[in-house]
Chains A and B, each alone.
Chain A
Amino acid sequence: MEHLMHMPRAQTGRSVYAPPSGSRLVPPTSAQAFAGDGAGSRTPFELGDSVHRTVSTSPAGRTRPLARMVSAALLAAALLAACDRGTENRSQGTAPRTGGRGTPAPGSVADTTDDGQWVMPAKDYASTRYSRLTQITPQNAAQLKLAFTFSTGVNRGHEAAPLVVNNTMYIVTPFPNLLYALDLTRPGAPMKWKYDPKPASAAQGVACCDVVNRGAAYADGKIVYNTLDGHTVAVDAVTGQEVWKARVADYNQGESITMAPLIVKDRVLVGNSGGEFGVRGWVTALELKTGRIAWRAYSTGPDAEVGIGPEFRAQYPQYRGKELGITTWPPDAWKIGGGTMWGWISYDPELDLIYHGTANPGPWNSEQRPGDNLWTAGIFARDPDDGHARWFYQWSPHDLWDYDGINEQILVNLPIGGQTRRVLLRAERNGYVYVLDRVTGQVLSADPYMDVTSTLGVDLTTGRPRENESKHPEMGKVVRDICPAAPGAKDWQPTSWSPRTGLFYIPHQNLCMDFEGVEASYIAGTPYVGANVKMYAGHGGHRGALTAWDPIHRRIAWEIKEFFPVWSGTVTTAGDVVFYGTMDGWFKAVDARNGRLLWQFRCGSGIIGQPITYRGPDGKQYVAILAGIGGWAGAIVAGDLDPRDSTAALGFVNAMKDLPQFTTKGGMLYVFSL
């Protein structure tokens, strides 16, 4: 499937909200992505019911017929979902969930905007990682206790979010990518089944930064996830039987997959990893029913393969022109140009657009690839039906720093400049929080959330960062104090958003780096050389932080400085609690309004996973996290790297020399409740 396929478009008005046919379980409700705080508390944004409201107050100033149909479909789906759940619960012999705090009356919008489940890593299509559950609050969080644990039996970095669907929890491990199903209806949540995709062992050799996996997604009775050796698998959520297994990437060519898929309508969206191996980045859509590839869109090369066509609107002049995916590179360099897609995808059902970033260009020295190297280190808005691009924005033109642009984007509607704007919040690797208009790709603001030296700000007129030539790396030249370091101010670890506080919770690192001297190395029998990269704590001396960012006032609301990079995700609740974990193993609950530490628990290994929260069959709110140190930041422990080798893990080890004194390996699920 080398070319972008042109698939028939879905009919206008087709209900994107209705459960896929044959669904036995509760489908992911797109509604929850955009609806606001069902609890009805005062928020600065009043996003509750926003699907309707923002349409009517959109810049166009009038409600579109499609939007009305969509709203109707949404309500219908909400009701359907509620019915489904009741049926399913009865069929399983468990009590239907009714009544109780946090469980509004059946059929209300609030009821379906949070069903207490967690069906995709980002919680919803808008990627808010915001739960409307309210049982755990700043007042009672100190009483959180361990409810149950489960050992995954795998010792590498655990970056995945558990899923909770129909009283079953699903966990994907790092390589060998086992899938466990745990029965939440029974004491201690015993294992129901285990699925082993048996990925090829050789794929471990093409994983750049530990053999991680970022999780699964649920839809249509299937748990769908990717394996390191380049397969997407769909597993029956009830029986644990494999439904299909599709080979989408070739590890023999250096491709691997670590990202969590996103399921939109009847498609599974997947992207590749492996920029270090001279692969060409892509995102691809598979049929949810069969695993057949529907389309594939590349990040470099001819317009037809990138998905640039008549529907593409260039917000800035540098994206205007033909075949820029070829002409912004030296001849043929785009063929191995990187721009992989190992991060996060969001979806706006109203605009019917998916959003995804692209990783850094490679594998050449930067001076061997003059030009902007489109379409790497940027973000695409695409049509999920055929992959065609609508707009693009480049965070780091001609990237010099390994600033992969694959972080998550949160889709919210914010009052900006006197009107409600449909925006996309993004804490980017290059150190800036961007607020983009998600309809057009226009940058509304870009502000640093750590001390940035690699660039001098973002020019909102041109959309380009202002260059700081004194920090450009050059072979043989010593360049110090490049901030952020190669992993960026934030890497893959996802942010969360609370419509109640209007804050955006950013787990991140505070690292700078030096390029000094030349280091020789050896691969496949061939010597090579490069800058000796050393990373270290950035300005302030701490290596990480949880930063609560106010995107309206464009400033930090509060910040918790952490000893190590915060390489875990975050989750935020309507109880005004934020959960995150630290690399030395503390799982923490803090007050979403002021960052006050409410509770913490020391897990057996460092935390780089994504917390989730769900409602158990007993009506209680639970919080779950996978511990298990590793990933790029934790490779020193998971990969037994030598702390004396300061340039190991591409220079990250220098910044993490002391981590082995604070934590040891071991994958384990921890689940807490009051």
Chain B
Amino acid sequence: MRSLLRSALTHFRTSALSRAGAPKLALALVVALGAAACARADARPARELRVCADPNNLPFSNARGEGFENRIAELVARDLGARVRYTWWAQRRGFFRSTLRAGTCDVVIGMPTTLEMAAPTRPYYCSTYVFLTRRDRGLDVRSFDDPRLKSLRIGVQIVGDDGFNTPPVHALSRRGVVGNLKGYTVYGDYARPNPPAAIVDAVASGEVDLAIVWGPLAGYFAKRAKAPLSIVPVSPQIDPPFLPFVYDISMGTRRGDTLGTRLDEVIVRRRAEIERILDDYGVPRAEGRRR
């Protein structure tokens, strides 16, 4: 109870939502308190699944438990006879260091299998970058080599590390598609709900003709967009020699933690239920490179 309350309060204090977000957060707090009261009334579960998660990043997770990673966390916890306990932290630079590695939680529900910052479980889905357009435009762009990309106004997700960016930015630069891109930082404005989602709104509103967006984000927000949107996986899947647009996603644990093995078992046992959750959220799936 106390820990749950504390995490709710910590979130309230630290998640940095502006006044606009405050009523929703207050609601989250009430819900958390309610849940806490119930938990006290029930027999306390023997175990906790301590999950590191972003409190404001749909479709992955949020503090109200509305993301598909929240749902998968619940599923895994049920399977293990445990209760989910979150450590909330914005998924920015230092996320792994401040959460998983600091020992305040034990699992990150989604991360690329190849990420070195944590020990990956077996992958449980594979997604891809997609071309996102308004259906009524009928653009049907399927490849980075489509000559129309030189003239369309293209939205891309950008990351501010020097020399680093999302794979589509590199792919377009390499093809001389320069000057007609509009960047949407993956950080967005954290005072607003789901900061990385602005790029999807930009397609729906016509601010850009086309956007190249990471699949889970595109799939979820496209369903909710003001105008019908079309989602097409990018091709090629890998731009030679080694620029991938398709990523296997695993759960991440600390190296040497035996939790990973148990999570591997849950992923196998619950494959069908995980697939259903991903379907519910419109997560575009690609053929995994290794499963």
Residues of A within 8 A of B (CB): 200-208, 250-254, 275-278, 330-333, 336, 338, 360, 362-365, 367-368, 370, 401-402, 473, 475-476, 486, 515, 517-518, 520-531, 533, 639-642, 645, 650
B162 near A277 (CB under 8 angstroms)? no
B228 an interface residue at 8 Å Cβ cutoff? no
Q: In the complex, are the beta carbons of A523 and B91 less than 8 A apart?
A: yes
A639: which B residues are within 8 A, CB to CB?
Answer: 94, 97
User: What per-residue 1/0 map shows which CB atoms of B162-173 lie under 8 Å from chain A?
Assistant: 111111011011
Is A523 a contact of B217 with CB atoms below 8 Å? no
- Inter-chain contacts of A364 with B (CB < 8 A): 158, 165, 169, 183
- B179 part of interface (Cβ distance < 8 Å): yes
Query: Which chain A residues border B166 with CB–CB below 8 Å?
Result: 526-529
Verify B247–A278 contact, CB threshold 8 A: no
Q: Give chain A residues whose Cβ lies under 8 Å from the Cβ of B174.
A: 475
B110 lies within 8 A of A205 (CB)? no
Look across to chain A and name the residue whose beta carbon is closest to the beta carbon of B171.
A475
Roughly how many angstroms separate A520 CA and B180 CA in the complex, as a whole number? 25
CA distance A201 to B94 in the complex (A): 13
Chain A residues within an 8 Å CB radius of B95: 205, 523
> Within residues 46 to 72 of chain B, which ones have a CB less than 8 A from any CB in chain A?
54, 57, 60
Nearest residue (CB) in A for B191 is: A252
- In angstroms, how far is the closest chain A Cβ from the Cβ of B227? 22
Cβ of B150 under 8 Å from chain A = no
Q: Which of B116, B214, B242 contacts A517 (CB 8 A)?
A: B242
Known contacts A202-B190, A252-B16, A370-B178: A525-B217 contact under CB 8 Å: yes
Whether A524 contacts B54 by the Cβ 8 Å rule is yes
Q: CA–CA, A253 to B112, complex, Å?
A: 25
* Least distance between A474 CB and chain B CB atoms (Å): 9
Q: Name which residue of chain A comes closest to B177, CB basis.
A: A368
CB proximity to A under 8 Å, residues B208-244: 214, 216-217, 241-244
Chain A residues within an 8 Å CB radius of B26? none
Contact of A524 among B162, B181, B196, B242 (CB under 8 A): B196
* Chain B residues with CB under 8 A of A476: 241-243
The closest CB in chain B to the CB of A647 belongs to: B116
Q: Does the CB pair B161–A276 fall under 8 Å?
A: yes
CB neighbours of B288 from chain A (8 A)? none
Q: How far is the CB of A2 from chain B (nearest CB, A)?
A: 15
In the bound complex, residues from chain A placing their C-beta under 8 Å from that of B14 are 200-202
8 closest cross-chain pairs (CB), A and B:
A530-B164, A363-B160, A278-B185, A202-B16, A276-B160, A252-B191, A201-B14, A402-B162
**Binary interface profile of B, 104-139, with partner A (CB < 8 Å = 1, else 0)?**
000000111011110000000000000000000000
Across the two chains, which residue of chain A brings its CB closest to B153?
A331
Shortest beta-carbon distance from B108 to chain A in Å: 9
Chain B residues, Cβ within 8 Å of A527: 112, 166-167, 214, 247
Q: How far is the CA of A340 from the CA of B191 in the complex (A)?
A: 21
Report yes or no: B169 in contact with A640, Cβ–Cβ below 8 A.
Answer: no
- Chain A residue nearest in CB terms to B69: A525
Q: Does B187 contact A (CB under 8 A)?
A: yes
- Establish whether residues B162 and A205, one from each chain, have CB atoms under 8 Å apart when the complex forms: no
B92:A523 contact, CB within 8 angstroms: yes
User: Complex: how many Å from CA A446 to CA B83?
Assistant: 63
| A206 nearest CB neighbor, chain B only | B92
Quick check: A365 and B170 within 8 Å, CB to CB?
Answer: yes
Is B93 part of the binding interface, using a Cβ–Cβ cutoff of 8 Å?
Answer: yes
CB nearest neighbor in B for A644: B116
* Nearest-neighbor residue (CB-CB) of B156 within chain A: A368
For A522, the chain B residues whose CB sits under 8 A away are 111-112, 115
Other-chain residue from B114, B115, B165 in contact with A530 (beta carbon distance below 8 A)? B165
Asked whether B183 lies within 8 Å of A336 as measured between CB atoms, the reply is yes
Could you tell me if B160 and A277 are in contact, using CB atoms closer than 8 angstroms?
A: yes
User: Which chain A residue has the least Cβ–Cβ distance from B96?
Assistant: A522
Cα A587 to Cα B189 with chains together (Å):
42
Nearest CB of chain B from residue A276's CB, rounded to whole Å = 4
The reply to whether B170 and A254 contact each other, CB–CB distance below 8 Å, is no
Complexed CA–CA distance, A520 and B120 (Å) = 14
Contact pick for B117, options A202, A206, A367, A645, CB 8 Å: A645
- The answer to whether A367 touches B181, judged by C-beta atoms less than 8 angstroms apart, is no
Q: Is the CB of A530 within 8 A of B92?
A: no
Knowing A202-B90, A367-B178, the reply to whether A277 touches B185 (Cβ < 8 A) is yes
Q: How far is the CB of A301 from chain B (nearest CB, A)?
A: 15
Residues in B with CB closer than 8 Å to A521 are 112, 115, 161, 164
Which residues from B are CB-within-8-Å of A645? 116-117
- Given the interface pairs A475-B243, A518-B243, the reply to whether A202 lies near B179 with Cβ below 8 Å is no
A641 CA / B101 CA spacing, docked (Å):
9
- Rounded to whole angstroms, the CA-CA distance of A521 and B243 in the bound complex is 12
Which chain A residues border B97 with CB–CB below 8 Å?
Answer: 639-641
A520 and B115 contact, Cβ closer than 8 Å, known pairs A475-B174, A526-B214, A528-B165: yes
How far, in whole Å, are A363 and B173 apart by their CA atoms in the complex?
14
B residues in contact with A523, CB < 8 Å? 91-93, 95, 159, 186-187
Contacts of B214 in A (CB 8 A): 525-527
In whole angstroms, what is the CA distance A343 to B242 when docked? 37
Q: How far is the CA of A486 from the CA of B164 in the complex (A)?
A: 13
Q: How far is the CA of A202 from the CA of B162 in the complex (A)?
A: 23
State A368–B178 Cα separation when bound (angstroms).
Answer: 6
Are A650 and B90 in contact (CB-based, < 8 A)?
no
CB pair A530 B161 closer than 8 Å? yes
Residue numbers in A under 8 Å from B115 (CB-CB) = 520-522
Chain B residues closer than 8 Å to A276, beta-carbon distance: 93, 160-162
Q: Considering the chains assembled together, what is the distance between the CA atoms of A640 and B104 in angstroms?
A: 14
Q: Given the interface contacts A363-B183, A517-B242, does A528 sit within 8 Å of B167 by beta carbon?
A: yes
Least Cβ–Cβ distance between B158 and chain A, in angstroms = 5
What chain A residues lie within 8 Å of B158 (beta carbons)? 278, 336, 363-364
Chain A residue numbers with a CB within 8 Å of B253 are none
* Closest chain A residue to B167, Cβ basis: A529
Least CB separation from B102: chain A residue: A640
Contact between A525 and B170, CB atoms less than 8 A apart: no
Query: What are 17 A-B contacts with C-beta separation under 8 Å?
Result: A202-B190, A207-B94, A362-B162, A365-B170, A475-B243, A518-B243, A520-B115, A522-B111, A522-B112, A524-B54, A524-B187, A524-B188, A526-B186, A526-B214, A529-B165, A530-B161, A650-B161
Interface pair B163/A525, CB less than 8 Å apart? no
Q: How far is the CB of A397 from chain B (nearest CB, A)?
A: 16
Q: How far is the CA of A204 from the CA of B14 in the complex (A)?
A: 10
| Residues of chain A with a CB closer than 8 A to B165's CB | 363-365, 368, 528-530
- Evaluate contact between B196 and A533: CB separation under 8 angstroms: no
Q: Report the Cα distance A486→B10, complex, angstroms.
A: 36
